[in-house]
Amino acid sequence: MVRSSLSTLEARIEQADELKAVLKRELRSGDWVLVTTKNSTYSICVLGDDQYVVSGGWFDRHGVSPKEISITGCTWGGTAIKEDIVAARGLFLEFGNHVITTRIQHVRVIPREQQPVI
């Protein structure tokens, strides 16, 4: 039994090293991250200091968009969480209010300098 748990943990560590993830440290204030999950789409604007403004998905359905919130990280569907990332394809995004998305299918980052001026 312990061997099985260890093998699963080792597999997650190996997977984490190979993830094509959006790292929190690579984002700057004003950047946007668009996350498409199995059931929803989320628009995430980076504020800084691990704070984001989020719209879409659960937040729209509960009438609280846009919502300023932290992002806890991403999980593989269990309790192991990778806290240094905002999103990665195949994982589940967890927000600071403990809302967990369905599996992430697509992630796109729009850096602030590439956004159109309105």
Residue that the structure tokens 């509960």 belong to: 62
Residue that the structure tokens 């929190």 belong to: 24
Helix and strand element counts for the chain (H, E): 2, 10
* Of residues 18, 32, 2, the one with CA closest to residue 110: 32
Q: Could you give the CA distance from residue 14 to residue 44 in angstroms, rounded to a whole number?
A: 28
Q: What percent of the chain has pLDDT above 90?
A: 70
> Range of 98's domain?
2-114
Other CB atoms closer than 10 Å to residue 43's CB: what's the count? 19
Domains in the chain, number: 1
Q: Looking at residues 28-36, what average pLDDT do you find?
A: 96
Residue 11 has pLDDT above 90, yes or no: no
pLDDT score recorded for residue 51 = 97
pLDDT score recorded for residue 117 = 57
pTM: 0.81
* Of residues 99, 73, 70, the one with CA closest to residue 86: 73
